[in-house]
Structure 1
Amino acid sequence: MSVSLETTYLGLKLSSPLIPSASPLSKSLDTVKALEEIGAGAIVLYSLFEEDIEKEALHLERSLTVGSESFAEALSYVPEIPGLRIGPEYYLDHLRRVKETVAIPVIASLNAQSPGQWIKFSKLLEQAGADALELNIYSIPCDPTMSSSDLEQKYLEIIRSCRQSIKIPIAVKLSPYFTNFLSFSTELAKIGINGLVLFNRFFQPDIDLENLNVEPRITLSTESELLLRITWIGILYDRIKLDFSATGGVLSASDALKAILSGATTVQLCSALLFHGIDYLKTIKNGIIEWMEKKGYYSVESIRGILSQKNCPDPSSYERAQYVYALSVYPSPSISGLEKK
């Protein structure tokens, strides 16, 4: 009996729970096609950022107007350009080309700031043929007058507006930094979204001691980051009727299986593919199949959530009791050193 990795995510039928996440990998049509051929269930396009659109429009405006005030003839020198593509047009065209290239679902990724832009771009992405939309809520609040409640309401209003504006499925990609993540997730489910992507990784700045600069640093994820993902997916599974996609820290077949066992519908891959190459997706896929055959499971649906908090033999493993136990049994280096003497 063969193992089936088929699943349904955001209402979309997938041949596999493995999804390349939003990254530069999706900028190449050849790469996207290759990912489909080696077993990707869907593809998340690199993110459309509002800042990039504004920067592009500003650069174009400067290019067309430079010198026009100094030289009268410049006003007639720059002709109108029919069909000029600015703003999100390049992204939308790429989305259309990807849709023409692959048969698997294509999920657009959007990261905006102003509420009006969220709605505008959501509609454009739907019209361009996106099968679903991943709303990437990526911002670090720095306003001391904004309470956590105010911030959550702002997010909810943005997501609600997008939900009301488009018909395609919506997943929301969040950071874990909420006072009560379960409560906020419950409110998101009430809005009518279809899934949560957990979690966003903030790229934090580093300090250059030699040049006394603050500089951005991008690091690949590590397996230790997976623990936070499976903790919250395990808690949320079957308590909130949403699909969950684990992203961050999925570097092997074992990591993918842990996420699915905790309740994830899909797992998103980025760092593993950037480090090992895209063929590594097939290695992960084969590793999942091998483990399932060994354990006597023949459907990925049959293993989803069997170790979530709801189904775990020891539900306290997800709560404080397990935290206290872990600390009590972990050996102290200093005590161990004394015992050896």
Structure 2
Amino acid sequence: MNLSANYMGISLKNPLVASASPLTYTLDGVRRLAASGVGAIVMHSLFEEELVSDAEHQARLLEAGSESFAESLSYFPDTLAPKASKHYLGLLERAVNAVEVPVIASLNGATPGGWTTHARDMENAGATAIELNIHMIPVGPGIDGRGVEDLHVEILQQVKAVVSVPIAIKLSPYFSSVGEMASRLDKAGADGIVLFSRFMHPRIDPESLEVIPSVGLSDPAESRLPQTWVALLYGRLEATIVAAGGVEQADDVVSYILAGADAVMTASALLRHGPGYAENLLDGLARWMARKGFDALDQVRGMLAVQSSSDETTWERTQYVDALRAANANLQGPW
């Protein structure tokens, strides 16, 4: 059975990618993921807030020292890499050397500053590719939507200009036109489009009268939105398409590939069941292919995608109406 896949020009032994999660905070976790058989590993994100905090702290130290000693700058190394960055790059380099599967670095931020420097450092540390997770929700009423879109393109172009490894954009589902945004990023040089990033919304606790940070694992129902967009974008982009969210069973992996995904990411299932659960997902995929008479993923990929000759709006509207009709029929009863 040939499960090999291609992600941004990177050859993978299979389409299952372990996405960013707490499992990649340690070298042992990275090794366990690799041993489970995944095709690639995305490291946890290096956050802009960590870098800004470290930089501000170092700036205060330098300012205080320079006021006291004329030659105080000689006490500091030439390269003042923030602590968070040094730790991340060290772990990334050890991970790349410890496992044989591709290791993809991840940057999570909201502004253009600093992306290029840290992307270059990640490439130098051995990252096979870099995933840009641009976490920006235009929550203020005065924030222009087109400006947010332009910012994504600007960040991508800046990073592409200074590194040679493939660059993926992990896209938000909250654009007014996801298809047009994906197309703009594709034309701007994105090597991969990941659909979609998950936002960890806080909850309001009526007893403590506090806003509580809340992180929940995904469930299979969450796969429907990215699955729809994978099917709509298949064959319309030069960039490879990666599905993310809601993978719990092998059938979820199969469905994404039928929709047209080049690779499928999972984190929640591996956190819920342990890294070794990847073997279950891959075994289930292989068994399904054998049962259906397929020998390679290329025979499966995009079978249920929206054909390029189809009208996407009509297709989506038809699915919407059919779903409502089916729901109404199922809910009819003696009442």
Q: Compute the TM-score of the two structures, normalised by the length of structure 1.
A: 0.89
Q: Write the mapping of 1:5-84 to structure 2, written as runs, cut at 5 A.
A: 5-59=3-57, 80=75, 82=77
CA distance in 1, matches of 2:131, 2:198: 15
Call closer, same or farther: CA 1:65–1:208 in 2, change over 3 Å: farther
CA distance in 2, matches of 1:20, 1:97: 17
1:1-22 per-residue CA deviation (whole Å, 9 max, x = no partner) reads xx11111111111111111101
Shift in Å, 1:52: 1.1
2:236–2:308 contact (8 Å) kept in structure 1 = no
Equivalent in 184, 187, 192 of residue 189 of structure 2? 192
1:222-280 per-residue CA deviation (whole Å, 9 max, x = no partner) reads 10000101100000000112211111101110000100110111111110011111110
Question: 2:117 aligned with 1:151, yes or no?
Answer: no
SS in 2 for 1:214: strand
CA distance in 2, matches of 1:49, 1:206: 22
CA distance in 2, matches of 1:158, 1:60: 25
Moved more, 113-122 or 314-323: 314-323
Equivalent in 82, 86, 105 of residue 82 of structure 2? 86
SS in 2 for 1:336: coil
SS in 1 for 2:194: strand
Question: 2:217 aligned with 1:223, yes or no?
Answer: no
Shift in Å, 1:281: 0.5
Shift in Å, 1:146: 2.5
Equivalent in 296, 303, 307 of residue 300 of structure 2? 303
SS in 2 for 1:140: coil
CA distance in 2, matches of 1:231, 1:318: 11
Moved more, 282-291 or 135-144: 135-144
Shift in Å, 1:103: 1.4
Shift in Å, 1:31: 2.2
Question: 2:275 aligned with 1:278, yes or no?
Answer: yes
1:235–1:318 contact (8 Å) kept in structure 2 = no
SS in 2 for 1:319: helix
Q: Compute the TM-score of the two structures, normalised by the length of structure 2.
A: 0.91
CA distance in 2, matches of 1:116, 1:314: 40
CA distance in 2, matches of 1:162, 1:30: 30
CA distance in 2, matches of 1:206, 1:235: 33
CA distance in 1, matches of 2:250, 2:61: 49
SS in 2 for 1:337: coil
Moved more, 238-247 or 54-63: 54-63
Question: 2:136 aligned with 1:136, yes or no?
Answer: no
Moved more, 278-287 or 123-132: 123-132
Call closer, same or farther: CA 1:68–1:176 in 2, change over 3 Å: same
Identity within the alignment, %: 40
Shift in Å, 1:57: 3.8
Write the letter of the residue equivalent to 1:35.
L
CA distance in 1, matches of 2:284, 2:309: 24
CA distance in 2, matches of 1:309, 1:139: 29
Partner of 2:160: 163
2:254–2:285 contact (8 Å) kept in structure 1 = yes
Write the letter of the residue equivalent to 2:47.
F
Write the letter of the residue equivalent to 1:153.
D
CA distance in 1, matches of 2:197, 2:302: 22
Question: 2:98 aligned with 1:98, yes or no?
Answer: no
Shift in Å, 1:333: 8.0
Structure 2 spans left out of the alignment, 5+ residues: none
CA distance in 1, matches of 2:72, 2:188: 52
Shift in Å, 1:34: 2.2
2:26–2:91 contact (8 Å) kept in structure 1 = no
1:21–1:45 contact (8 Å) kept in structure 2 = yes
Partner of 2:241: 244
1:305–1:311 contact (8 Å) kept in structure 2 = no
Moved more, 213-222 or 328-337: 328-337
Alignment: residue pair count:
333
1:163–1:191 contact (8 Å) kept in structure 2 = no
